[in-house]
């Protein structure tokens, strides 16, 4: 019987899998104070990784997280790499910085954690819908470009994509990913699309990299109060209530009140444990599945929809992503 559950804390896993942390190099996107990503890297610091590469858009916010890392363990080396994941140019530059850095010989674990949720409709400078761009395509370019350094880490290397139970809201809209059809945009359909893409991308990465010992997983961290709820809090009260009820029905088949009662908010420590098990537990590869929640792998269709794990859809997404970013990746 697995001893992992919704109450498992990240730091406990970092100590349990200390041998998978010590001396290894981790890259994480979206380390901002008070977020799941920051909690993940601050927890990792306790067992002396060789290097934490922090990819963020705000140097000030990331510096605060670096200060917290140094408080836990002054010997841990950190590197800040600036990237706006919703800009193709910015991500290409960040990836090149990482590839060119002689101090980064290999990357043992990539954690694609950054995201925005429920933004008003917006096209990025590359004419791509914002949530699809920041949450999936930015990570698609970054990870594919730095893949040689992940492969260089050898068997045991991992790629972890932060997805969400929100993927159950909507699959990838292959015919209209940028919501050009008038009236088609909804904040959660777009978030759901991007979070389904996070899982399909892990499936596609496994097809390409598993034979070389690199495994990819996607995780739902649980519901945690962070800055992710920023745009939801801006919504008009009545509209928000209706949207949240609809989301609870689609995601869990429950009213919002029933959903909250069954799945209360987690602490940040509980919220980073699913990421950390996906990143660290060597025995995971013996189990079936690509999606984890409550610190465990699951293939239960109530937890992870077919539209997010279907290998054909994963290949279709790879092709769509290449078309959207205007670059082919042979990794
Ligand atoms: N919190 C939850 O309840 C929950 C539930 C399910 C899934 N998740 C997933 O967990 C992950 C972490 O979320 P969180 O709750 O920790 O949210 P958060 O505190 O808002 O952190 C999100 C991070 O993403 C960064 N980011 C957003 N857009 C970016 C861009 N264009 N370029 C670069 N960085 C960007 C943010 O940077 P700035 O600080 O500069 O904005 C921040 O560092 C996300 O993938 C989210 O979808 C969270």
DSSP sequence for 68-133: HHHHH-TT-EEEEEE--TT-HHHHHHHHHHHHH-TT-S--SEEEE-----SPPS-B-TTS-BHHII
**The pLDDT of residue 291 is above 50:** yes
Catalytic residue among 185, 201, 217, 231: 185
Task: Compute the distance between CA of residue 283 and CA of residue 14 in angstroms, rounded to an integer.
Answer: 15
pLDDT category at 322 given cuts 50, 70, 90 is very high
User: Coil, helix or strand for 30?
Assistant: coil
Question: Taking the CA of residue 135 as centre, how many other CA atoms within 13 Å lie in the half-sphere pointing to its CB?
Answer: 28
Q: Give the bridge partners for 53, in sequence order.
A: 27, 79
Task: Compute the distance between CA of residue 102 and CA of residue 97 in angstroms, rounded to an integer.
Answer: 10
For ligand 1, pick from 37, 58, 88, 115 the residue to mutate: most ligand atoms within 8 Å of CB.
Answer: 115
Q: Which CATH architecture has domain 10-228+266-320?
A: 3-Layer(aba) Sandwich (3.40)
pLDDT category at 2 given cuts 50, 70, 90 is low
What is the whole-number distance in angstroms between the Cα of residue 307 and the centre of ligand 1? 23
DSSP sequence for 274-292: HHHHHHH-GGGGGS--SEE
Q: Is 185 a catalytic residue?
A: yes
pTM (predicted TM-score): 0.98
Q: What residues have CB less than 8 Å from 153, skipping those under 6 apart? A: 24, 25, 106, 107, 108, 214
> 233 phi and psi, to 5 degrees?
-65, -20
Residue with tokens 């794990």: 309
Segment 256-285, tens digit of pLDDT: 999 999 999 999 999 999 999 999 999 999
Q: What angle do CA 122, 130, 108 make, to 5 degrees?
A: 165
Segment 306-316, tens digit of pLDDT: 999 999 999 99
């Amino acid at each position: 019987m697995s001893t992992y559950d919704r109450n498992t804390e990240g730091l406990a896993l970092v100590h349990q899998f200390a041998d998978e942390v010590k001396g290894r190099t981790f890259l994480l996107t979206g380390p901002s104070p008070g977020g799941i990503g920051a909690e993940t890297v601050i927890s990792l610091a306790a067992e002396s990784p060789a290097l934490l590469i922090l990819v963020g858009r705000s140097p000030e916010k990331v510096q605060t997280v670096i200060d917290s890392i140094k408080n836990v363990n002054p010997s841990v080396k950190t590197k800040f790499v600036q990237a706006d994941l919703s800009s193709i140019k910015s991500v290409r530059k960040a990836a090149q910085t990482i590839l060119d850095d002689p101090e980064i010989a290999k990357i043992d674990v990539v954690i694609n954690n950054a995201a925005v949720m429920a933004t008003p409709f917006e096209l990025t400078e590359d004419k791509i819908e914002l949530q699809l761009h920041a949450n999936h395509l930015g990570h698609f370019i970054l990870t594919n470009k730095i893949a040689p350094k992940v492969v260089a880490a050898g068997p045991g290397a991992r790629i972890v994509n932060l997805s969400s139970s929100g993927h159950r809201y909507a699959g990838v809209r292959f015919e209209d990913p940028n919501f050009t059809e008038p009236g088609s945009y909804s904040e959660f359909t777009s978030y759901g699309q991007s979070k389904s893409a996070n899982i399909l991308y892990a499936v596609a990465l496994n097809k390409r990299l598993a034979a070389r010992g690199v495994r990819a997983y996607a995780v739902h961290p649980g519901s945690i109060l962070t800055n992710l709820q920023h745009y939801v809090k801006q919504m008009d009260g009545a509209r928000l209530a209706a949207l949240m009820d609809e989301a609870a029905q689609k995601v869990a088949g429950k009213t919002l009140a029933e959903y909250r009662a069954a799945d209360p908010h987690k602490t940040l420590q509980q919220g980073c444990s699913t990421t950390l098990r996906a990143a660290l537990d060597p025995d995971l590869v013996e189990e079936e599945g690509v999606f984890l929640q409550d610190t465990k792998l699951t293939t239960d269709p109530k937890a992870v929809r077919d539209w997010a794990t279907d290998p054909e859809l994963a290949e279709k997404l790879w092709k769509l992503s290449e078309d959207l970013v205007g670059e082919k990746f042979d990794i």
